[in-house]
Structure 1
């Protein structure tokens, strides 16, 4: 891997390499809406982001990540949580800094991605600021997400599935069998949350309807919403599905 710096119209590239096999990775600093942000791009798609100002570094840039927090509006007593897909660790930073009574396990398949999160996305600061080496509120597993849910004895109150490479999901986590394994990892009345990049109508909506069908076969209650109301229904966008055997209000 080679570090270099140069300028593009869409920001300043501060790191470039391959990830997840032969996928193009760039870390880019740019200004959006008056704020300096750092983006993790895979094949040009935004996988993670962080504000660069220290006072904002644990805040969330992406709207769908903010939507993850709705799970705690549904049931704030959820304590032990799992995130599949760490990337730049933007959601773990928010989670640890905003929910001091909760713990989070993160499964990330690529060890180099974890290294980049520590080096470029301020994960090192999070561990120091919140004493995570001692209290173990954040535990990182470097392995395939499907393998983890197949082999772990851990169970969780909430599981977030955000496993993507660019804008393509980890297909092994989107099958009927994977949803069954995820449910086995949930405590009674736990909540499963999955990010799906999909259209709402048209041919590009197939991922939504297939995944939603599998989830409805395993859970009594489901709730769906798209994260940007201004995006046309036939265009791909981030959508969230919540599922549980307890009512979702």
Structure 2
């Protein structure tokens, strides 16, 4: 039973680490900072647990003590769903450095990890019978713990998180820890187990009775997929039906739809994307890298009745949500490709009259889609007079403009003609906002004479843009730059 306890504790700590990333995602994202904080906190907590476990085992090497430690870990895990709302909401709305916010959020999982770290050294002391065999005993148990961690990582990533969900999985971890305690002291500590079971039940009732509110809206869906956590909610709008929005694991909206006008574009930057109908009124083949709830591809199908649209969306779960909650129905003129956008672009394929790059996630963009090499692949898939339209979130100048300046220099390396349209504050270079970039290899592809373009031309940026280095596959610190502009934006 001791070996099984070690194996399960190793598995549960990895499952907890992976599920932690989904719990944190709606509040602080899943950036490099978040993963760095999670890994650092879990490893640091395990190290402290190893040290405490060794000292505790020397003082009181009894299975009852190990069982009590596991009961404590079960209690700590069961309290996470109650504590996460107040703690993570406060961090999400704070004006602190994203790195420190990520570290503070990861601390939510420190105590369970410390207690789980106690298990292996304590079990080694219990199993040890002689000094001559101590090395093999310790090595065997730590190998079993590591095998458990490997099994837990694969089980969580390949099956548990996409099928069970984040919060339910936390509760399942708590029950498993109570079961592990019973393996080591089956006839003892029953009062303690009943007490933790009461905490567990109260936590479940709290979570069921208090579903998370999101941005003062009505939460309709909270679902984990193989790639991310998806949230769908309706936001109230005065004197009309609400707007339905999709958030992909972060506190900003990735797709939106008016419930009373589902065919209309609801997000401001997508209305700037609609400039393409005046730049290229006869589009026949279109590529959208980043599909979201498929609101804009649906607009393209309605606007260009003879066009064929390819949509590259990494997560099949997002496309499923588009059908379930955003009135999307399959269309023979629309082809969905569920894969990474850069992988799709790297292949030889048809040329497009227009490419839309809309892959911002929170405040950053996948590194592999922000580089010179990626722009070169897009150019290879564009028709000679084709246009590229990009949604970007940044300032233009000042402390919050560095991210954009690097991306602008990157696009200019491949596309000689790049126009910039600040969506919300056309006269303010320092405000972090949506920027729509329109790029082409030929100047005639960007003819701006249509009268319908006048409202957009009022947003055209005409001032000089500071020089910056280009982003490459080898060096593109997009998350670092996004974090700096986020601090400025606050």
Structure-2-length-normalised TM-score: 0.46
**TM-aligned CA deviation for residue 24 of structure 1:** 4.2
| CA-atom RMSD in angstroms | 2.2
**TM-aligned CA deviation for residue 231 of structure 1:** 8.3
Q: 1:35 aligns with which of 227, 241, 256?
A: 241
Structure-1-length-normalised TM-score: 0.87
Q: 1:97 aligns with which of 255, 278, 302?
A: 302
1:102–1:137 Cα contact (<8 Å) kept: yes
Please identify which structure carries the higher strand content. Answer: 1
Deviations 1:75-120 (A, max 9, x none): 2122211000011111012111222122211000011111111111
Deviations 1:142-191 (A, max 9, x none): 00000000014121010000012223212211101100000000011110
Q: 2:367 aligns with which of 147, 152, 171?
A: 171
2:288–2:358 Cα contact (<8 Å) kept: yes
Q: 2:285 aligns with which of 80, 86, 90?
A: 80
Question: Superposition pairs for residues 56-67 of structure 1, below 5 Å?
Answer: 56-67=261-272
Q: 1:195 aligns with which of 372, 388, 391?
A: 391
Assess, with a 3 A threshold, how the Cα gap between structure 1 residues 231 and 115 changes in structure 2: closer, same or farther. Answer: farther
2:230–2:318 Cα contact (<8 Å) kept: no
Equivalent residue, structure 1, for 2:434 = 238
Unaligned runs of 5+ in 2: 1-163, 169-207, 448-490
2:356 paired with 1:160: yes
Question: Superposition pairs for residues 2-21 of structure 1, below 5 Å?
Answer: 6=211, 8=213, 10-18=216-224, 21=227
**TM-aligned CA deviation for residue 20 of structure 1:** 6.8
Assess, with a 3 A threshold, how the Cα gap between structure 1 residues 20 and 237 changes in structure 2: closer, same or farther. Answer: farther
1:231–1:237 Cα contact (<8 Å) kept: no
| SS of corresponding position for 1:117 | helix
Runs of 4+ that moved beyond 6 A: none
| SS of corresponding position for 2:435 | strand
- Distance in structure 1 (CA, Å) of the matches to 2:296 and 2:307: 13
Equivalent residue, structure 1, for 2:257 = 50
- Larger Rg over CA atoms: 2
- Distance in structure 2 (CA, Å) of the matches to 1:18 and 1:236: 30
Q: Count how many residue pairs are aligned between Structure 1 and Structure 2.
A: 237
Question: Superposition pairs for residues 195-234 of structure 1, below 5 Å?
Answer: 195-229=391-425, 232-234=428-430
Please identify which structure carries the higher helix content. Answer: 2
2:311 paired with 1:115: no
| SS of corresponding position for 1:210 | helix
- Distance in structure 1 (CA, Å) of the matches to 2:226 and 2:298: 22
2:265 paired with 1:69: no
Question: Superposition pairs for residues 122-137 of structure 1, below 5 Å?
Answer: 122-124=327-329, 127=330, 132=331, 136-137=332-333
| SS of corresponding position for 2:424 | coil
Equivalent residue, structure 1, for 2:42 = none
- Distance in structure 2 (CA, Å) of the matches to 1:106 and 1:241: 19
- Distance in structure 1 (CA, Å) of the matches to 2:267 and 2:312: 20
Assess, with a 3 A threshold, how the Cα gap between structure 1 residues 32 and 20 changes in structure 2: closer, same or farther. Answer: farther
Deviations 1:195-218 (A, max 9, x none): 111112222212211111111111
**TM-aligned CA deviation for residue 221 of structure 1:** 1.5
- Distance in structure 2 (CA, Å) of the matches to 1:229 and 1:235: 7
**TM-aligned CA deviation for residue 19 of structure 1:** 5.0
Unaligned runs of 5+ in 1: none
